[in-house]
Amino acid sequence: MSAMNEGYDPQVVIENSESGVRMALILILMAAAGIGGYMQYVGAMRRGKRDRIYSIPLVTNLWNFAHDVTFVASYDSWFDDENELWILKLFWFGLIVFSIMELVVISHIIRFAREDLWGEGCTVPRAIATYAALQAFVFGIFWWFQGITEDPLEYYGLTTTVIMASAFNISMMRSRGSQRGMSEFILWGYVTLSCAFWPWMMVSDPGHFCHPIYFLMAGGNIAVGLYSIKVFRSLPAYEPPGAVAAVPPSTALKAG
């Protein structure tokens, strides 16, 4: 239990991230986790536009945006002369891209789902104001979280985004009653992220992140991701209004 109470050791993380084989393994796992994250949001932007709905759960996008914008805004913390961890510099550039993609999801929420979320007749200005208020509230929660944790390298903050990533997908899909706004590509992105992220943390500081609680969280996170795919497959397919159904070749030949 002491390992949990003491938190991770930033110097151990830095040394492990710069030592030969371990550094190569961390880089591979980090790249795989990044690919999973991009699968989520690239897939969400495409499917959200096609189905005219948002594809990342509201709470998840609020939290991710709070984390990513805060990280990007903390430029001086990651690029000062005392910060030796190259991973954080890569994060900074990557999270600029993620923040932009999260803005796209926000635009889908405002354009396509404002009445579903905030009542019939909700105008665009009112939806923007409501979302801004929610986002400010979540920023407050995130800054409070930062204040009560010893997290100089932002590893706990990043962990919360991975836990939040797949937490609300199942309820969102079931509430819609169809595959609208979701795809297996997106869901496999969540699984890829989880399967790479937790080993990466464990390799970074085995003395802390190999505590049993992290294995429990990792197993639960991956299990939820896999179960989300099962739920998705059980739901009826969704075709956007006006979509042209594919015509079987045999039918096309007869018509000709």
pLDDT in tens, 11-69: 999 888 887 888 899 999 999 999 999 999 999 999 999 999 999 999 999 999 999 99
Domain hosting residue 55, numbered range: 2-255
Q: How far apart are CA 163 and CA 160, in angstroms?
A: 5
According to the model, what pLDDT value does residue 180 have? Answer: 97
Q: How far apart are CA 208 and CA 201, in angstroms?
A: 9
Q: How far apart are CA 97 and CA 104, in angstroms?
A: 11
How far is C-alpha 163 from the chain's CA centre?
8
Q: How far apart are CA 158 and CA 42, in angstroms?
A: 19
Q: How far apart are CA 256 and CA 249, in angstroms?
A: 11
What is the percent of the chain where pLDDT is above 70? 91
* Tokens 């500081």 found at: 205
Q: How far apart are CA 1 and CA 213, in angstroms?
A: 10
Residue 243 predicted with pLDDT over 70: no
Q: Mean per-residue pLDDT for 114-138?
A: 96
Count of domains for the chain: 1
According to the model, what pLDDT value does residue 111 have? Answer: 95
Judge residue 128's burial from the number of C-beta atoms within 10 Å of its C-beta, 0-12 exposed, 13-18 middle, 19 or more buried: middle
pLDDT in tens, 78-92: 887 666 678 888 889
Q: How far apart are CA 64 and CA 44, in angstroms?
A: 14
- pTM as predicted: 0.88
